[in-house]
Amino acid sequence: MSLLAVRDLSVAFGGIRALDAASFTARAGAITALIGPNGAGKTTLVNCVTGMVRPDSGNVTFDGRDITGMAAHRLPRLGLARTFQHLRVFGSMSLLENVMVGLHGHVRTGMLSSMLRLPGVRRTERAMRDAALQALDFTGLSGRADEPAGLLPYGDQKRLVLARALVGDPRMILLDEPVAGLNPAETHEMGGLILALRARGVAVLLIEHDMSLVMRVSDAVVVLCSGAKIAEGAPGEVKRNPEVVNAYLGGGEEFGLHA
Amino acid sequence: MTAPGTAKTKGVAPASGRHPLLTPPARRFARGWLALAVAVALLPLALRSGYQFTVLNVVAVNLIVVTGLNLLMGYAGQISYGHAAFFGMGAYGSAILSATHGVDPWLAMGVSACGVAVAAAVVGVPTLRLKGNYLVMATLGFNLIVDVILVQWSEVTGGSSGFVGVPPLSVAGMSFDTDRSFYWLAWGVALLLLIPARNLVHSPVGRALRAIHDSEPGAEACGVPTASYKVQVFVLSAVFASLAGSLHAHYLGIVAPKTFDIFKSVEFVTMCLIGGMGSLWGGLAGALLLTVLPQMLGVFEEHHDLIFGAILLVMLIFMPRGVSPWLRGMAGRMRRGAGVGLGGGGAPGNGPEGREARP
């Protein structure tokens, strides 16, 4: 069953067509990778799905609900969380606080009730704390819950933003280049975390350049080129698709790392 | 990180034990608040002249503005150089309603605050989309407009010479019209307003505001309605300024537009900055320092502005995060020097840089 469905999405910035009637679906509980050369439109597609860019035409449905152009802050509550390529860690806050903010979509207390510190606020706070510690534990960071996030090494920050995205128990997490800038050991570890997410029943939409990771963890791969989908299927098939090889290498050479 | 799935629950019980409900910073705040209340109660015993009371009354009024402004600037990271306008709207609202229209001063204060809340929302919705220098310019512009209106609309506001005859606030026949009686009112209100501010800071909403400060897209992706929160905290801080303005008007009995120009806004921002952004105690330090210091420098006569500027400069160089975080860092260093305090892997958050410089 498809959890996320993108239909005929088109976006133009001035005269440049960033997306040209792109369509694909991602199944619930599966890892779907979205790949493509630089400039293929991956970022624009992600921005359309996450409410940062409003498409000129086409639509995005999540769990049967039209979320096209929906404000980004409403998505976590619907079960769609995301991470950023440029992390967006809350550097002045502790790891625990970072992850607690990840639950904000589920918080119902407003500014006034917070100022009066009504009993519900305390309860919410405690529940948030417990959930956040569990999420930190999942990513192996619970021992450092009180450290300031800004001082964390880059690789650990990558795991922190993952914890922040998964803490609200989403149905799908969109991971924007989760291993960019990581060393091979960290990359391997992150791959394990992504698989563990799937084991928990969380679907993953993976935007990634690291082909060995994509080939290792994905259930399905969608290839984007010049704003349109050129291939979709199991990792093994996509790897041998001549059009994909052509798009990546300009023809000729063998595509794909040995994964 | 071998089996994340199975490791999921095991760390929870001991970990939540480490995080009791009244967190250390919250307990610190409670102690600090009580200490301040005691100091406020005992200080009059040591004061000699009415002039000393006057200065402390101005500190209390400034503290109220800075507490609100700190929520906006220190926590949510949105800079406003327009808060003297809200301060002035509260003052003039109170003055005009009570003196011209005979409304009860308390009611005038409340009505003015509501009016300011509406005005702040109207100003905030378009301007808070701007960031950094553009937000600074927009709020400065707003303050200039209000300033011009206060001067030009003279049949209502009294023009540049000001508005006289504002009645004092009173409770059960006792009116707060002397320096000494107003001291209790002003500091009572300032202490009282610190409590909701602190509650907000230590709530999920307060955390979301800090997240907005650190990364707006990050906060938005976490489910924080950033645009709405920014406007809400802007309105809240404007209401704090309005209440302070009303107190100011009813205390002095006279309001003049010069008190509410952009230089006053700059002063409020400087108080936040010098005291320590994102720290409610920093607000107290800033309000105290920037109100009392210029008075003390009066002995230098025409050189006092020069010396005042030099002091600010030196402070910003040596305490770039403000007085309050600096003091906390010093305390941390002294504890460690005495060999108590933090062990080997001690939380860097309590380090000299005062990263967790929040009450």
Q: What is the pLDDT of residues B208-222, one digit of tens each?
A: 999 999 999 999 999
Dist CA A124 CA A126 (whole Å) = 6
- Least CB–CB distance from A129: residue in B10, B19, B223: B19
Per-residue confidence (pLDDT) for residue B24, from 0 to 100:
63
Q: Residue B358: pLDDT above 50?
A: no
Q: Let me know if B239 is exposed, middle or buried by CB neighbors in 10 A (0-12, 13-18, 19+).
A: buried
- Work out the percent of chain A whose per-residue pLDDT is above 90: 81
Best of A53, A67, A73 to mutate (most B CBs within 10 Å, chain B): A73
Res B330: pLDDT: 86
How far is A128 from chain B, CA to nearest CA, in Å?
9
Give the number of other CB atoms < 10 A from CB of residue B353: 18
**Res B299: pLDDT:** 80
Alpha-carbon gap, residue A126 to A130, rounded angstroms: 6
Facing residue for B203 by CB, picked from A109, A126, A145: A109
Q: Which tens digits make up the pLDDT trace of A201-242? A: 999 999 999 999 999 999 999 999 999 999 999 999 998 999
Q: Which of A101, A121, A138 sits opposite B203 (nearest CB)?
A: A121
User: What is d(CA A138, CA A196) in angstroms, rounded to the nearest whole number?
Assistant: 9
C-alpha dist (Å) from residue B179 to B64, B105, B251: 18, 18, 8
pLDDT of B359 strictly over 60: no
pLDDT surpasses 60 at A4:
yes
Strand bridging mode A203-207 / A31-35: parallel
**Could you say which of 1.20.1070, 1.10.3470, 2.60.120, 1.10.10 is the CATH number of the domain covering B49-321?**
1.10.3470
CB contact under 8 A, B5 and A199: yes
Q: Give the closest of B21, B204, B347 to A104, CB-based.
A: B204
Q: Which pLDDT belongs to residue B144?
A: 97
Question: Cβ distance A134 to B8 under 8 Å?
Answer: yes
Give me B115's structure tokens: 């009016």
B18-34 pLDDT per residue, tens: 444 456 667 888 899 99
| φ, ψ of residue A7 in degrees (nearest 5) | -125, 120
Do A73 and B221 count as a contact with CB atoms less than 8 A apart? yes
Residue B8: how many CA atoms within 13 Å on its side-chain side? Answer: 12
Most confident of the following: A124-133, B115-124, B294-303: B115-124
Q: What is the pLDDT of residues B139-162, one digit of tens each?
A: 999 999 999 999 999 999 999 999
pLDDT of residue B324: 85
What mean pLDDT is reported for chain B?
86
Question: What's the pLDDT score for residue B43?
Answer: 94
Read off the pLDDT of residues A26-78 as tens digits, 9 standing for 90 and up.
999 999 999 998 888 998 999 999 999 999 999 999 999 999 999 999 999 99
Query: Does pLDDT of B9 surpass 50?
Result: no
Contact at CB, B215 and A196, closer than 8 angstroms: no
Pick from B4, B8, B211: CB nearest A101: B211
- CA of B229: which chain A residue's CA is closest? A111
Stated as kind and residue range, the H or E segment containing A175 is strand A172-176
The average pLDDT across B126-134 equals 91
Across the interface, do B224 and A73 touch by the CB < 8 Å criterion? yes
* Neighbouring residues of B301: CB distance < 8 A, sequence distance ≥ 6: none
Cβ-contact B308, B292 below 8 angstroms = no
Which pLDDT score, from 0 to 100, does residue A253 have? 44
Helix, strand, coil % in chain B, rounded to nearest 5: 75, 0, 25
Return the pLDDT at B42.
96
Domain definitions of chain B by residue range: 49-321, 324-359
Q: What is the mean pLDDT of residues A121-128?
A: 88
Percent of chain B with pLDDT over 70: 87
Q: Judge: B11–A129 Cβ closer than 8 Å, yes or no.
A: no
The Cα–Cα gap between B294 and B305 comes to 8
User: pLDDT (tens digit, 9 = 90+) per residue, B275-292?
Assistant: 988 889 999 999 999 999
Name every chain A residue with its beta carbon within 8 A of the beta carbon of B221: 50, 72-73, 75-76, 81-82, 84, 88
Identify the pLDDT of residue B353.
38
Token duo for residue B331: 């305390």
- Residue B236 has which token pair? 């809240």
Ranges B21-35, B65-79, B170-184, most confident: B65-79
- Please state, for a pLDDT cut of 70, what percent of chain A lies above it: 95
Q: What is the mean pLDDT of residues B72-78?
A: 95
Rg over CA atoms, chain B:
22
CA distance to partner chain B, nearest, from residue A219 (Å): 20
Residue B3 has pLDDT above 60, yes or no: no
Closest chain A C-alpha to B230 CA, distance in angstroms = 11
| Per-residue confidence (pLDDT) for residue A102, from 0 to 100 | 97
Measure CA B300 to chain center. 29
B342 vs B171 pLDDT, higher one = B171
In the sheet that holds A2-13, the strands lie side by side as A16-27, A2-13, A57-62, A65-66
At residue B354, does pLDDT exceed 50? Answer: no
**C-alpha to C-alpha distance for A115 and A41, rounded to whole angstroms:** 44
Average pLDDT on B87-96 reads 98
Chain B residues whose CB is inside 8 A of the A103 CB are 204, 222-223
What's the average model confidence in pLDDT over A111-134?
90
Q: What is the pTM of this model?
A: 0.89
Q: Are A125 and B21 a contacting pair at CB < 8 A?
A: yes
DSSP label at residue A207:
E
Let me know: does A243 contact A200? Beta carbons within 8 Å.
Answer: no
The percentage of chain B sitting over the pLDDT mark of 90, rounded to a whole number, equals 67
User: What average pLDDT does range A149-160 have in this prediction?
Assistant: 96
Q: Domains, chain A, ranges and CATH?
A: 1-79+170-259 (3.40.50.300), 93-168 (no CATH)
Q: Work out the pLDDT band at B224, boundaries 50, 70, 90.
A: very high
B261-277: average pLDDT: 92
CB pairs under 8 A between A and B: 175
The per-residue pLDDT for B8 is 37
By Cβ distance, the residue of A106, A124, A137 closest to B7 is A137
Per-residue confidence band for A147, with pLDDT thresholds at 50, 70 and 90: very high
Phi and psi for A12 in degrees, rounded to 5? -125, 135
- ipTM value, please give it: 0.92
Looking at CA atoms only, how far is residue A44 from chain B in angstroms? 15
Alpha-helical segments (H) within A89-183? 95-101, 111-116, 119-138, 154-166
